[in-house]
Structure 1
Amino acid sequence: MPGVVSANEGGFRHNVLMRGQVLEKQDGTLVVCVGQADGAQVGQVLDVIRHKRRIRHSRAGGPRYRRENVGQVRIVELFDSHYAEAEVISGSPKVNDTVELIRP
């Protein structure tokens, strides 16, 4: 299993087990860039995150982007060590969104 990455965002700390990108979308099916090498398994539910540019950012040089949770997907098939097919459970994921599995 891949190493765990700790992230601290706005005071909220979470452990990311797996992170990838939505590469393709067709109807309710996605191709995501996570696979066996990342520890992906059929049935796992991943959060879908969209990085949005802030309209205004702090003069103190704060972050120019914010994370927005836009849905969830479930892995239905592993293609190989790098790619998987996922079905949309909720929301409206788009190409280039990030998918990630978080350890609670």
Structure 2
Amino acid sequence: MLMLALAGTAHAEESGFRHEVLMRGQILEARSGALVVCVGEADGAQVGQVLDVVRHKRVSRSPKAAGPRFRREPVGQVRITELFDTHYAQAQVVTGKPKVNDTVELIR
């Protein structure tokens, strides 16, 4: 029975409706369009990469209502301009108005 459950799980992961996140981090600092993001060399970050910025917004609904309590809101894009640590990079705003705590991600 366990083998059947695991086989079904593996098949579900191979389906075409999921996206593959190559890199994900967070905006730690934002000053006049210059950002510090927590993605770096260890994550595979490279200078020139453009990352999507997403903000997680709470959904207003009844506490007993079913479904997600948050939604993803696209905010814009940032470009990595400098890698200064294995875990951190400098970035600049390409589009939108990213803020501290927004998520940055590179999706294939």
Distance (whole Å) between structure 1 residues aligned to residue 64 and residue 18 of structure 2: 25
Q: TM-score, normalised by structure 2?
A: 0.81
Q: 1:76 aligns with which of 76, 81, 86?
A: 81
How far the C-alpha of 1:59 sits from its partner, in A, is 4.9
Higher percent of residues as helix: 2
- Per-residue deviation, residues 25-84 of structure 1 (Å, max 9, x unmatched): 000110000000000000000000000000126855210000000000000000110000
Q: Which runs of 4+ in 1 moved over 3 A?
A: 57-60
Distance (whole Å) between structure 1 residues aligned to residue 33 and residue 94 of structure 2: 9
Q: What is the RMSD computed on CA atoms of the aligned residues?
A: 1.9
Trace 1:1-104 onto structure 2 (pairs within 5 A): 13-56=18-61, 59=64, 61-103=66-108
Which consecutive residues of structure 1, in runs of 5 or more, have no partner in the other structure?
A: 1-5, 7-11
- For residue 27 of structure 1, what is the amino acid of its counterpart? S
Higher percent of residues as strand: 1
Moved more, 18-27 or 50-59: 50-59
Q: What is the percent sequence identity of the aligned residues?
A: 74
- For residue 47 of structure 1, what is the amino acid of its counterpart? D
